[in-house]
Amino acid sequence: MDYIQTMRRMIGKESLLTVGCGVIITNEDKVLLQHRTDEDNWCIPGGVMEIGETFEETVQRETYEETGLVVEELQLFGLYSGESCFVTYPNGDQVYSVQVIFHSTTYSGELQQGGAESQAHCFFGRDELPENLNPRQKAFIQDWAHDKKVPIMR
């Protein structure tokens, strides 16, 4: 059983603090986004850290699970926190997640479309991002789109 399920058994739907790790994968100045099935919005690949993992291991595992891609040469893009990192999911679970976001232009593998968590993956240019971006990820996706030099912590 994973960490989140174990904690939910103990605390129910109350707020849980997690560490999320994601990656902005770019190719020819376009960013890879995935269309989530659960929230019907677009976001970058990533997910919640499991106990004992490093930030890099988390983002590599989650990216492979969600996209079929192996990311390498990860560079820290930024650390994100604040009110936008709090969510109440449709099932009532509450989570506050500190976000560790990487950037990579180096990846291998075949991009998988569809799956348990996402219905599609697509590369978008800076000026063609979809309107329905995940609200908890919108800040760092837009920081990339505006070529904003992000302070390490935000």
Q: What angle do CA 115, 101, 73 make, to 5 degrees?
A: 85
CB atoms within 10 A of CB 150: 17
- Please provide residue 49's backbone torsions phi and psi, each rounded to the nearest 5 degrees: -70, 135
The yes-or-no verdict on residue 32 having pLDDT over 90 is yes
pLDDT in tens, 8-29: 888 888 888 999 999 999 999 9
Please report the domains of the chain, with CATH numbers, ordered by start residue: 3-144 (3.90.79.10)
Task: List the alpha helices (DSSP H) in the chain.
Answer: 3-11, 55-67, 138-145
pLDDT in tens, 42-65: 999 999 999 899 999 999 999 999
pLDDT of residue 103: 96
pLDDT of residue 148: 82
Q: What angle do CA 108, 32, 122 make, to 5 degrees?
A: 105
Phi-psi region at 68: left, alpha or beta (left = phi > 0; alpha = psi -120 to 50): left
Place of tokens 């376009």: 30
CB atoms within 10 A of CB 61: 16
